[in-house]
Structure 1
Amino acid sequence: MSTATNLETAPPELALRRAFSLFPTGVVAVCGLVDDRPVGLAVNSFISVSLEPPLVAVSVARTSSTWPVLADSAQLGLSVLGSNHEALCRKLASRNTDRFEDAEWHATDDGAVLMHGAALWLECKVTATVDGGDHEIILLEVLKSDLFPEVTPLVFHQSQFRGLLTEK
């Protein structure tokens, strides 16, 4: 028998955050070169949108100080982080650290920054932004993809990083 948690007595934002945490998500690094330096952030709100044209979307908090810096980049690299990227993810989410210290990455000629050890690389360009309440929804056209199916992705569930059990 399962145990239900009643969130009716919690503040509405906390209750909703806890409810949303029950949906496991991957974690994506959104990165680009700005003045020849890597800039990036981590998001767990990533979705595939369309195959034709190839589109994906991410959601970024309006309070982000990083997104305004990245928003005008010619291209962005989206890296679906691997299970060994928990420390990198925490750095990309931090405000007071060198987010790329000890990270392995490379930049494309068009300025997309891609993290080594990821399960998927997407090179994208921003096509639209949509009001999403306290977030901006960023629609991106996928220009190129590189898949690494042997890499197990990093999973975020109930506000914790988790691994996937894989059969070998």
Structure 2
Amino acid sequence: MDPYLFRNLCGRFATGITVITTFRDDESPVGMTANSFASVSLDPPLVSVAVDHAASAHAALVAAPRWTVNILEANQEALSRRFAATGSDRFDGVGWRRGPEDALLLDGVLAHLVCTRHDTVEAGDHTILIGRVVAGDAAEHGRPLLYYRGGYADPDGL
């Protein structure tokens, strides 16, 4: 399959945008933007996220016993871009707190899903993290930040 065509085809599927967060062994925060998030199972409650082997957060996320899926709101494109960028302190000026299970929760997001490591699967140039959801919360109101056809999208504009 031609990689350009494959990317174009997958881009026709609108996805929500998340930031996956955890702590390194030295307790420093680490996170990355991901749109490859999916619900896997209701019983037990499992989710997955695919992490590129080249991602700076890869080693920390694969080793972490717990991580958080922070689902972004429509007005958080800048936050998504920050956690997708390389070579910067992604947490500089970003509000966050410790939550259940000592999870790293970003402030102001649409929802949090706190996960403990259930399994990892090597798949091509990515590692798929499968997490058991052990806690979560959601904003009472809000709209999701979406990614569609290679760019950010307003849910009302699709």
Aligned to 2:151: 160
Helix, strand or coil: the match of 1:165? helix
Aligned to 1:19: 9
The answer to whether the aligner puts 1:54 opposite 2:65 as a matched pair is no
Mapped partners of 1:109, 1:117: distance in 2: 17
CA offsets per residue over residues 66-86 of structure 1, 9 Å max, x none? 120222223211110111211
The structure that has the greater radius of gyration is 1
CA offsets per residue over residues 63-114 of structure 1, 9 Å max, x none? 1221202222232111101112111111111111111122121122643211
Mapped partners of 2:29, 2:102: distance in 1: 9
Task: Within 5 Å, give how 1:2-151 maps onto structure 2.
Answer: 12-34=2-24, 35-108=26-99, 110-151=101-142
Q: Structure 1 length normalisation: TM-score?
A: 0.86
- Residues 37, 48 of structure 2: 8 Å contact kept: yes
Deviation at 1:25, TM superposition (A): 0.2
Mapped partners of 2:89, 2:142: distance in 1: 25
Gaps of 5+ in 1: 1-10
- Counterpart of 1:136, as a letter, is T
Deviation at 1:137, TM superposition (A): 1.1
- Counterpart of 2:10, as a letter, is F
Mapped partners of 2:28, 2:99: distance in 1: 12
Deviant stretches of 4+, over 3 Å: none
Helix, strand or coil: the match of 1:22? coil
- Counterpart of 1:76, as a letter, is W
- Residues 100, 135 of structure 2: 8 Å contact kept: no
Q: Between Structure 1 and Structure 2, how many residues are aligned?
A: 156
Gaps of 5+ in 2: none
Q: Which has the higher helix share?
A: 2
- Counterpart of 1:100, as a letter, is F
- Residues 117, 151 of structure 1: 8 Å contact kept: no
Q: Percent identity?
A: 31
